Amino acid sequence: MKDFFKVTDLDKVFEYTSLFPTVKTEQVLIEKTPGRILAEDITADIDLPGFSRSTMDGYALCALSTFGASEENPAYINVVGSIAMGESPSFAVEQGETARISTGGMLPKGADSVIMIEHTEILDEKTIEVYKGAAPGHNVIEKGEDFTKGTVVLNAGQKIRPQETGLLAAFGKEKVQVFKKPVIGIISTGDEVVPLAETPQPGQIRDINTYSLSGQVIEAGGIPSTFGIIKDDYKDLLGKCREALLASDMLLISGGSSVGTRDFTIEVLSALPDSEIIVHGISISPGKPTILARSGKKQVWGLPGHVVSAMIVFTAVVKPFIEKISGSSPERKSRFALSAQLSRNVSSAQGRTDYIRVRLTEKDGILWAEPILGKSGLINTMIKADGLMEIGKNVEGLEKGTAVKVFPL
Report d(CA 134, CA 404) in Å as an integer.
51
Number of residues engaging a second copy in binding (CB under 8 A): 110
Report d(CA 261, CA 368) in Å as an integer.
39
Outline where DSSP puts E strands in 95-148: 97-101, 113-116, 120-124, 127-130, 140-141
The answer to the question of residue 233 lying near a second copy (CB under 8 A) is: no
Contacts of 290 (CB under 8 A, 6+ apart): 279, 281, 282, 284, 301, 302, 303, 304, 313, 317
Q: Return the number of the residue (98 or 165) whose C-beta is nearest a second copy.
A: 165
Minimum distance of a second copy from residue 74's CB (angstroms) = 15
Rounded to whole angstroms, what are the CA distances from 368 to 137, 184, 365, 384? Answer: 48, 35, 10, 15
Q: Which of 251, 271, 253 is nearest to 262 (CA)?
A: 253
Is the Cβ–Cβ distance between 326 and 249 less than 8 Å?
Answer: no
Minimum distance of a second copy from residue 283's CB (angstroms) = 18
Pick from 144, 182, 185, 190 the residue near a second copy by CB under 8 A: 190
Report d(CA 237, CA 376) in Å as an integer.
26
Minimum distance of a second copy from residue 77's CB (angstroms) = 19
Q: Return the number of the residue (19 or 30) whose C-beta is nearest a second copy.
A: 30
Pick from 86, 246, 273, 399 the residue near a second copy by CB under 8 A: 86
The answer to the question of residue 394 lying near a second copy (CB under 8 A) is: no
For residue 374, the Cα-to-chain-centroid distance in whole angstroms is 30
Give the burial string for 278-288 (b: 16+ CB within 10 Å, else e): bbbbbbbbbbb
Minimum distance of a second copy from residue 390's CB (angstroms) = 14
Residue 43: enclosing H or E segment and its boundaries? strand 42-43
Pick from 176, 186, 193, 391 the residue near a second copy by CB under 8 A: 193
Q: Which x/- pattern over 292-311 shows residues binding a second copy (rule: CB under 8 A)?
A: -------------x-x---x
The answer to the question of residue 5 lying near a second copy (CB under 8 A) is: no
Minimum distance of a second copy from residue 399's CB (angstroms) = 17
Site for a second copy in 90-119 (CB under 8 A): 102-106, 117-118
The answer to the question of residue 71 lying near a second copy (CB under 8 A) is: no
Minimum distance of a second copy from residue 294's CB (angstroms) = 26
Q: Which of 46, 307, 37, 280 is nearest to 172 (CA)?
A: 46
The answer to the question of residue 377 lying near a second copy (CB under 8 A) is: yes
In DSSP notation, 261-327 reads HHHHHHHHHHTSTTEEEEEE-BSEES-TT-EEEEETTEEEEEE-SSHHHHHHHIIIIIHHHHHHHTT
Q: Return the number of the residue (22 or 55) whose C-beta is nearest a second copy.
A: 55
User: Which amino acid appears at position 239 of this protein?
Assistant: G
Burial of 253 (0-12, 13-18, 19+ CB in 10 A): buried
Report d(CA 57, CA 62) in Å as an integer.
16
> Could you count the other beta carbons within 10 Å of the beta carbon of residue 231?
11
Site for a second copy in 126-185 (CB under 8 A): 141, 145-147, 153-154, 160-174
Q: Return the number of the residue (272 or 313) whose C-beta is nearest a second copy.
A: 313
Q: Return the number of the residue (36 or 180) whose C-beta is nearest a second copy.
A: 36
Is the Cβ–Cβ distance between 299 and 250 less than 8 Å?
Answer: yes
Q: Return the number of the residue (188 or 275) whose C-beta is nearest a second copy.
A: 188
Pick from 211, 225, 320, 395 the residue near a second copy by CB under 8 A: 211
Segment near a second copy (CB under 8 A); pick from 9-17, 178-186, 196-204, 391-399: 196-204
Report d(CA 303, CA 22) in Å as an integer.
22
Site for a second copy in 311-370 (CB under 8 A): 311, 332, 334-339, 360-362, 367
> Could you count the other beta carbons within 10 Å of the beta carbon of residue 315?
19
Q: Which x/- pattern over 251-280 shows residues binding a second copy (rule: CB under 8 A)?
A: -----xxxxxx-------------------
Q: Return the number of the residue (18 or 201) whose C-beta is nearest a second copy.
A: 201
Q: Which x/- pattern over 18-57 shows residues binding a second copy (rule: CB under 8 A)?
A: ------------xx-xxx----------x-xxxx-x-x-x
Q: Return the number of the residue (19 or 170) whose C-beta is nearest a second copy.
A: 170
Pick from 14, 383, 400, 401 the residue near a second copy by CB under 8 A: 383
